[in-house]
Amino acid sequence: MASRDLDDIVAKVEAGERLGADDGVRLLTTRDLLAVGRLARLACRRRHGDRVYFVVNRHINHTNVCVNGCRFCAFSRKPGEPGAFTLTLDEIEAKALASRGLSISELHIVGGLNPVLDLDYYVRMLRRLRRVLPGVQIKALTAVEIDYLARREGLTVEEVLRVLQDAGLVSLPGGGAEVFSPRVRRLVCPQKISGERWLEIHAAAHRLGIRTNATMLYGHVETPAERVDHLLRLRDLQDRTGGFLAFIPLAFQPRHTALSALPGTTGCDDLKMIAVARLLLDNFAHIKAYWIGIGPGMAQLSLHFGANDMDGTVVEEKISHAAGADTPEYSTREELVRLIKEAGRVPVERDALYSAIREY
Ligand code: V47
Ligand code: SF4
């Protein structure tokens, strides 16, 4: 029997009423996982019916050199440290071209804050990729990288975004958001831009017509209230701009990081995080289950807990795998279609901006 202590929240969701911070904390902390899942599934199916999206994409990490040193990151290296790499434009082009046979529709490009790379490197990268793969949309550079480039070049964020947009940038990935709480940022990423700055940069992108994603790195030192605060700040900005495409909860992978003593997330936590995101982010169309972080099986289950997107084929993933993720690094179109169909849903292949390419 389901417990009755969420009855008032159930009534709100059924009536299509907006949930508040207290509701969010209660949903995150209840033991009644299935009740939360049922509500999230209702909210998701109201919007999307049976359709679940996926994208045939490729990730490229152009450099792991980073001056920031976030404590949860096992991917980055200081300039000159063993294992540091920076890809040349020829190497980036070769990686992109290697995926040509897969008919990818999105390139996802992120890296560290590398003092050697100037705006011109990124402009030439985007132009070259657009020339060799003209039909492929490029989602590149987190708000953290945009801020770094603006400061490095003495330009405003708007100026940097405009230059990148002209060179072919279509959207920004959601990285760098972590948890907005200043307390959490002080503990896990003290050198990173503030939550306010992250939100400002996404607002600037939205003003220029650049759509963006949002993430939250969960499962380290944050409290339930801090998770909820993060989601509500995203919801506020989305009310003002409507520029966010998707929210992606990122499950913290602790191995090889300065926080390796932490245990990482559990299956119940992963499912609840997806469900609560769906319920609180009532103005976000898409909640993505990132199978790289939680595994293909959990990502498939999360389609019954409010997720409507399985992300993509990815091909090569370095950030979560540097931190010990034991998932594969790539998937195939066929495997994503199979996972979605076996969950009883209709797979829809999409591009970076969520235009449908093909229904299976
Ligand atoms: O911002 C770093 C996270 C992010 C770890 O927009 C870690 O479609 C887990 O933003 N364990 C970058 N996560 C990845 C990212 C992303 C991924 C997939 C899709 C999209 C999208 C965006 O990776 C960073 C940071 O939050 N990260 N270290 C770690 N140990
Ligand atoms: Fe650098 Fe990003 Fe890693 Fe932080 S998470 S150290 S900003 S690469």
- Ligand nearest to the backbone CA of 220: 1
Average pLDDT value over all residues in the chain: 96
Say what the pLDDT of residue 291 is. Answer: 94
4 CA from centroid of ligand 2 (Å)? 43
66 CA from centroid of ligand 2 (Å)? 6
Taking the alpha carbons of 161, 164, 168, 171 in that order, is the dihedral positive or negative? negative
Using one digit for the tens of pLDDT, what is the confidence trace for 8-32? 999 999 999 999 999 999 999 999 9
Residue ranges covered by each domain of the chain: 4-359
Using one digit for the tens of pLDDT, what is the confidence trace for 67-89? 999 999 999 999 999 999 999 99
319 CA from centroid of ligand 1 (Å)? 7
Q: Is 247 in the pocket of ligand 1 (CB under 6 A)?
A: no
Say what the pLDDT of residue 226 is. Answer: 98
Contact (Cβ atoms closer than 8 angstroms) between residue 6 and residue 32: yes
Give, rounded to a whole angstrom, the gap between the first and last alpha carbons of the chain: 37
Q: Is 28 in the pocket of ligand 1 (CB under 6 A)?
A: no
Say what the pLDDT of residue 3 is. Answer: 64
- Ligand nearest to the backbone CA of 63: 2
312 CA from centroid of ligand 1 (Å)? 14
Q: Is 250 in the pocket of ligand 1 (CB under 6 A)?
A: yes
* Spatial separation of the C-alpha atoms in residues 221 and 252, rounded to whole Å: 10
Pocket mutation for ligand 1, best pick of 215, 220, 329 (most atoms within 8 Å of C-beta): 215
* Spatial separation of the C-alpha atoms in residues 277 and 229, rounded to whole Å: 11
Q: Is 284 in the pocket of ligand 1 (CB under 6 A)?
A: no
pLDDT band at 326 (very low <50, low <70, confident <90, very high): confident
Q: Is 327 in the pocket of ligand 1 (CB under 6 A)?
A: no
pTM of the model: 0.97
Taking the alpha carbons of 251, 252, 256, 262 in that order, is the dihedral positive or negative? negative
The residue nearest atom 7 of ligand 2, judged by CA position, is 68
The residue nearest atom 18 of ligand 1, judged by CA position, is 290
Which class is domain 4-359?
A: alpha beta
